[in-house]
Amino acid sequence: MRLFKKTLKYSVWIIIIIIIGIFFSSLIIKGFSYSYHYINSKSKLALQAWAVQNNTTVEPTIIYKKELDSPSYYLRNQELQLSVSAEAYLVADLKTQEIILEKNKDQIFPLASVSKLMTALLSDPEDQLLYPLLLESSNSVAEKLAKKMERDEFIRKMNQEAILLGLFNTYFEDPSGLSSQNSSNVFDLFKLIKHIYNDKNYILEITKQEKYKGWVNNNSLSREKEYQGGKGGYTDAAKKTLIATFSLPFINQENNREIVIILLKSDDRYKDAKKIINYLKQNIYYGLEKELATLPLAEIIPEPKDNEISLIFTGDIMLNRGVRKSVEQNFNNDYGFLFVNILESLEEADILFGNLEGPASDQGKDVRNLYSFRMNPVVLPVLSRLGFDIVSVANNHANDWGQEAFKDTLIRIQENGLMFVGGGLNKAETEKVKIIERDGIKIGFLGFCDVCSINVESQEDQPGLLFANNPRFKEIINEAKNEVDFLITTFHWGNEYVKANDRQKKFARLAIDSGANLVIGHHPHVAQETEKYKGGFIAYSLGNFIFDQSWSEETMKGLILEVKINKMAEIIEINKKPTQLNKFFQPSLILKN
């Protein structure tokens, strides 16, 4: 009996030990599957051993050593500071591998659509889908490419390739970058772009094209002559991300240097990249250290916009019907030509907003409204490339081609690094304030429609628009104001071709009373009056920015509104800039003495 009890006791302990072992083993396996981020140095050695066993090699860690009497990069003026919005950045020479500038190079952040570089890396170089993947950042194309291999296997290979390239702090959960789990640091991304630059340069060749066939590059940097290719991305979690290569001149150098700029968690990747390029040209010397002393000290040139933020708003943007015909007949299907006369004014914006008058999609079915608009989806990468940050979808043409086209438009807007306001895939999304941060100031946007059919109002689990007669109108605005420093409410409202009515004035003033700082209106197709109210500002209608209503002089005019705010989120300047459309529907400023 004693022997039986003793045996039973040992058996129980053995079972407990086995159960504990299984439990911890499962945790280890799960941890390996879902978190490549935390691979320690021993794990890296093990992975390298695995690579050797499988007849593959792991890319060596980048090590740059300055050699005596060899050219290198030097600061010309230590007092000249670089200030950008990105939480992490890295600037390096692609040929020598020398890191010129860096901040938080080991900190891990979400990647957004920069992930698509790895997707392209694993896809067939001859596949035409690489063009919409890389130029227009199509998430659906990323999924199509992954499914060609079998999606789970493709994701596994993405992570395997990351390890083989020495990207030990990089992890992929999807092929598009929509997942916030797709993450890395700028140092790993330097290794990735170095590999692409040296061995897969066709990817950069694709990404530096302004357009290819029907696909348009949505990266605004592609307009720069020094740009040599790269990829940007945007999600709420990642903010704006960028890997961009440039051929840049340096002082006392006959030949340009091949430079990469990598940004993570940027509020404005275009302006950050431009600031870095200017800093490189102004304050970085490439050459021998002994010659540095012979150069004049780089001057500290203050940036004029540091103390103010410029918000620019345009009127209705409708690029279908007669506008589309003009683009096809006169501009070889290039929508960018519509903006050539106004581009300089748009580039002054820190945030650029417009009203997208209808869906931009190739999906859906015409619901046969009196006027049904559906724009070519190629207009979205064009708007992104021109510098637009956010558009309103809250208008009476949003559902002209049904919910399928509306949902597709929302997806495409985000794919192209833009934000939308006034609509969403459900009620919660339509009521959520969209926030853009500039120089530490949180600027919020809400969009309302007051001239829309009742069947397009968003429901709990149904796509649609946010209506101005929402019972929670004041509450929605007040909640939004609590999240931001400066709140903009936009409205689609009023009667067409006439002055602002009493209903517009009621909603505008109520919006400011509820917390809004600025009210912007659209829909009447003509510019309406503006008004100062309790420290806020109201523009009842900005009229048509691009529209094909050539039958009237007033409908061929519009208003660009520039509102400047200071670091205290106070309005300090308002500029009203009238515009005029020509016969090709190209807007330009009306110059007045």
Q: Are 524 and 495 in contact (CB under 8 A)?
A: yes
φ/ψ of residue 279, rounded to 5: -65, -40
d(CA 432, CA 426): 10
- Please tell me the predicted confidence (pLDDT) of residue 282: 87
- Please tell me the predicted confidence (pLDDT) of residue 59: 56
- Over range 363-382, report the average pLDDT: 90
pLDDT tens, residue by residue, 499-548: 999 999 999 999 999 999 999 999 999 999 999 999 999 999 999 999 99
Amino acid at the residue 555: T
Q: Are 222 and 208 in contact (CB under 8 A)?
A: yes
Query: What is the DSSP secondary-structure string of 322-376?
Result: HHHHHHHHHSTT-GGGGGTTTHHHHTT-SEEEEEE-S-B-S-S-----SS---B-
Nearest to 128 by CA among 201, 214, 198: 214
- Please tell me the predicted confidence (pLDDT) of residue 29: 39
- Please tell me the predicted confidence (pLDDT) of residue 368: 81
- The H-assigned helical ranges of 347-401 are 379-386
- Over range 555-584, report the average pLDDT: 96
- Over range 89-110, report the average pLDDT: 96
pLDDT tens, residue by residue, 263-284: 999 998 998 999 999 999 989 9
Helix H or strand E encompassing 509: helix 502-513
Residue 470 CB burial class (10 angstroms; 0-12, 13-18, ≥19): middle
pLDDT tens, residue by residue, 464-509: 999 999 999 999 999 999 999 999 999 999 999 999 999 999 999 9
Residue 303 has pLDDT above 90, yes or no: no
- Please tell me the predicted confidence (pLDDT) of residue 20: 62
- Please tell me the predicted confidence (pLDDT) of residue 485: 97
- Please tell me the predicted confidence (pLDDT) of residue 519: 98
Angle among Cα 194, 197, 202 to the nearest 5 degrees reads 145
Amino acid at the residue 116: K
Name residues whose C-beta falls within 8 Å of residue 289's C-beta, 6 or more positions apart in sequence.
72, 74
> Dihedral of CA 474/475/481/487: which sign?
negative
- The H-assigned helical ranges of 113-233 are 116-121, 130-135, 139-149, 151-164, 186-199, 202-207
d(CA 510, CA 490): 13
Report residue 460's pLDDT band, with 50, 70 and 90 as the boundaries.
Answer: confident
- Over range 228-232, report the average pLDDT: 96
pLDDT tens, residue by residue, 19-68: 665 555 444 434 433 333 333 343 444 444 545 455 555 555 555 556 66
Q: Which residues pair with 419 in a beta bridge?
A: 390
pLDDT tens, residue by residue, 146-159: 999 999 999 999 99
pLDDT tens, residue by residue, 415-436: 888 999 999 999 999 999 999 9
- Please tell me the predicted confidence (pLDDT) of residue 208: 94
d(CA 419, CA 284): 35
| Distance spanning both ends of the chain, measured CA to CA | 112
Identify the three-state secondary structure at position 328: helix
φ/ψ of residue 503, rounded to 5: -65, -40
* Cα dihedral: 433, 465, 136, 579 (round 10): -80
Q: Considering the chain, what is the average pLDDT of its residues? A: 88
Nearest to 100 by CA among 85, 86, 82: 82
Identify the three-state secondary structure at position 389: coil
Helix H or strand E encompassing 562: strand 557-566
Report residue 214's pLDDT band, with 50, 70 and 90 as the boundaries.
Answer: confident
Residue 376 has pLDDT above 70, yes or no: yes
At 125, list the tokens. Answer: 């170089």
pLDDT tens, residue by residue, 111-150: 999 999 999 999 999 999 999 999 999 999 999 999 999 9
- Please tell me the predicted confidence (pLDDT) of residue 145: 97
d(CA 454, CA 127): 44
